[in-house]
């Protein structure tokens, strides 16, 4: 059988790839009108050149070595790539240029998806920190005080132990350069949420008489600090001969009991 499929002009394929890059989408998800505008032709002219079918254009893009629908959205790829950069090399390596290379996208598409580096960093923090899960725990129906604390500790343990180690890298940045603009940007964005979520829950527990009256910021640090430091340093401690650490579940239970002994009202 002769090949009756239309021959897609190279300039149309190039326009489709440019439009996909600019919009941060797969070629298959780019509207025909956007491709036509990128090519400098009308929509009807584009449809004639591709034989009236997106399938022919997608096949031409695939023949050019690009999967028209095989990649995840730029936003997802960038968050993952940025997290890997932070986990492997620290916060200072998070540049849009480095993320674009790792995520196989353009810097322009990162600006289109995030607006800038600060917004990308916030998205990485939100994805790889336990803040969303903790907000759900303290906003939902509460178990007893001890079980809620233990649940929050398990979330912290999971987040701090998994790869890429984004949270430990950010903590290292906070200790080394507490006034850095990137860290300050995160604090200004997420600190109010922590106070409104975890802080509000602790304040309600104090008002109900289940926790001793203490300044909320200090109470939050007393709750999170020991668990945070343990799981940040745990990988190194596990390499030291003679140190036999309990498993993560038991560790969380021990820290939860210690916190309750310190602040709970009998």
What is the mean pLDDT, run by run of 10 residues, along the chain of 266 residues?
A: 62 91 84 90 88 82 77 84 93 91 85 90 91 88 86 92 88 83 81 89 93 94 93 92 92 96 93
Cβ neighbours of residue 258 under 8 Å, at least 6 residues apart? 226
Q: Are 251 and 245 in contact (CB under 8 A)?
A: yes
pLDDT of the residue at 201: 93
Before 164, cis peptide (omega within 30)?
yes
Query: Is 10-63's fold the same as 74-127's?
Result: yes
Q: What are phi and psi of 135, to 5 degrees?
A: -60, -40
Domain positions in the chain: 10-63, 74-127, 129-263
CATH classification of 129-263 is 2.60.120, yes or no? Answer: no
**Rounded to whole angstroms, how far apart are CA atoms 251 and 254?**
5
pLDDT of the residue at 2: 40
Residue appearing with tokens 């997290």: 83
Cβ neighbours of residue 93 under 8 Å, at least 6 residues apart? 85, 86
pLDDT of the residue at 3: 41
- Report the top-level CATH class of 10-63: mainly alpha
pLDDT of the residue at 229: 92
Output the 3-class SS for 48-117: HHCCCCHHHHHHHHHHCCCCCCCCCCHHHHHHHHHHHHHHHHCHHHCCHHHHHHHHCCCHHHHHHHHCCH
Cβ neighbours of residue 138 under 8 Å, at least 6 residues apart? 148, 152, 197, 198, 200, 201
CATH of domain 74-127: 1.10.10.60
Cβ neighbours of residue 116 under 8 Å, at least 6 residues apart? 96
Neighbours of 166 (CB within 10 A): 23
Closest Cα to residue 71, out of 31, 142, 17, 33?
17
pLDDT of the residue at 180: 82
């Amino acid at each position: 059988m002769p090949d009756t499929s239309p021959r897609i002009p190279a300039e149309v394929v190039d326009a489709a790839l440019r439009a996909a890059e600019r919009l941060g989408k797969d070629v298959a998800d780019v509207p025909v009108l956007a491709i036509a505008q990128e090519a400098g032709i009308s929509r009807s002219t584009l449809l004639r050149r591709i034989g009236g079918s997106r399938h022919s254009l997608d096949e031409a893009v695939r023949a050019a070595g690009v999967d028209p629908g095989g990649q995840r959205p730029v936003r997802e790829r960038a968050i993952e790539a940025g997290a890997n950069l932070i986990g492997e090399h620290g916060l200072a390596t998070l540049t849009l240029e480095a993320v674009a290379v790792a995520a196989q996208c353009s810097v322009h598409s990162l600006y289109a998806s995030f607006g800038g580096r600060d917004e990308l960093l916030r998205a990485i923090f939100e994805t790889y920190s336990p803040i969303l899960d903790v907000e759900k725990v303290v906003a939902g129906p509460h178990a007893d005080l001890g079980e809620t604390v233990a649940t929050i500790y398990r979330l912290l343990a999971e987040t701090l132990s998994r790869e890429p180690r984004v949270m430990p890298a950010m903590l290292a940045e906070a200790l080394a350069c507490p006034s850095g603009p990137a860290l300050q940007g995160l604090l200004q964005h997420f600190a109010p949420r922590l106070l409104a979520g975890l802080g509000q829950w602790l304040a309600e527990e104090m008002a109900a008489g289940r926790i001793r009256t203490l300044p909320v910021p200090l109470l939050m640090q007393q709750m999170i600090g020991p668990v945070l430091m343990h799981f940040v340093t745990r990988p190194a401690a596990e390499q030291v001969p003679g140190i036999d650490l309990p498993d993560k579940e038991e560790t969380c239970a021990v820290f939860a009991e210690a916190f309750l002994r310190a602040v709970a009202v009998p």
